[in-house]
Amino acid sequence: MLDSLFWTFSVSGVETYLFLPPLVALVVSFFTSLGGVSGAFLLLPFQVSFLHYITPSVSGTNFVYNIVAIPSRVYRYLKEGRMAWPLTWVVITGTLPGGFLGDYIRVLYLPDLRAFKFFVGCVLLYLGLRLLYEMTARSHKGKKTMKT
């Protein structure tokens, strides 16, 4: 029964059960929408570690995920009147050139899986340490000082 659901994606060479990628996308979208992020950063480790999809096109796949996932959230924020337009325009100003630069660096300088995993690991380590720091008393004390 499950053998008929095992699928080979000819372009990428990925072999997996047909229901697994949509199921992971559903779970990632559910949890990341609670925090207001796109979730592609969680799909990347899944694609590389579980699906063994290691080419630079993994980044393009994540961009497609963003194109599909983000508009419904933007619509919700617009409908509720919670869009912070000054911040939105500042973020867009940095996002557009950052996206092109990131693609350029990924394809030209990080096509090797080891180098790419190291880079992604460093970024995730920094983010994890930053989140842990935000939970400390020292961080809260600094925020109180800034508000007064």
Spans of all domains in the chain = 2-84
102 pLDDT band, cuts 50/70/90, is confident
How far apart are the C-alpha atoms of 54 and 75, rounded to whole Å? 33
Return the DSSP state at 37. Answer: -
Count CA within 13 A, CB hemisphere, residue 9.
14
Closest CA to 106 of 24, 32, 14, 44: 44
User: Is the predicted pLDDT of residue 65 greater than 70, yes or no?
Assistant: yes
Q: Specify the pLDDT at position 132.
A: 94
